[in-house]
Chains A and B, each alone.
Chain A
């Protein structure tokens, strides 16, 4: 069965501190992993995907198949990073989302 877990409902950090949002998954094949973000009063949107191996807004995420993890990291958090973050996977058609982590970056 496909499943995505995000152990932290809320993560609070101070501006300039490093941040790591955890994501673990279970999937029998080779999934594609994504991070989606929802800023206040905006729609859900893609932040980054593991295939691209890109850094978006200073965020990176590395797929660790051994640990079945796809943690999202940023070395220096900014106040504008405050949002809901959802980890998601797909095996090709359906997308499964985790429960989300609310990141609050304090001034």
Chain B
């Protein structure tokens, strides 16, 4: 197991285009989180899944953002009609069923909207 995997690592797109990011969690980690990080800021919570159920969404997640985890394994984060303000690092983190509280992060997907 190589840890949490995210792709693509980098995405450059023009304003108005749609983009999709994928996160593959550590095996048997049933909890999956998406965060957004901009320069000089800490990770900002976007959404959280337990298995395939999306349990919480931040108000940062506008109608243009949608996340899925169809079989409780990998997850996708789609941004429709991208805006320049969407440029950021999108981080995925997963956590196991226990109570250790440790989040395991992927390397992130960096989005640049021109």
Which A residues contact B (CB, under 8 angstroms)? 4, 6, 9, 32, 34, 36, 43-46, 49, 51, 86, 88, 90, 93-100
Contact = CB atoms under 8 A, between A and B. Distances in A.
B91 A44 contact: yes
Nearest to B44: A97
B1 interface: no
Interface of B: 3-4, 33, 35, 40-45, 48, 55-56, 91, 93, 100-108
Given A9-B40, A44-B43, A95 B33 contact: yes
21 contacts: A6-B42, A32-B101, A34-B101, A34-B102, A43-B3, A43-B106, A44-B43, A44-B105, A46-B102, A49-B101, A49-B102, A86-B42, A90-B101, A93-B48, A93-B56, A94-B56, A95-B33, A95-B45, A95-B93, A97-B43, A100-B40
Scoring B40, B48, B56, B103 by chain A CB atoms within 10 A of each residue's CB, the highest score goes to B103
B103 A100 contact: no
B20 to A, nearest CB: 21
A88 to B, nearest CB: 8
A91 to B, nearest CB: 11
A45 B101 contact: no
A39 B42 CA distance: 14
Contacts of B104: 45
Given A9-B40, A43-B106, A43-B108, A94 B45 contact: yes
Contacts of B56: 93-94
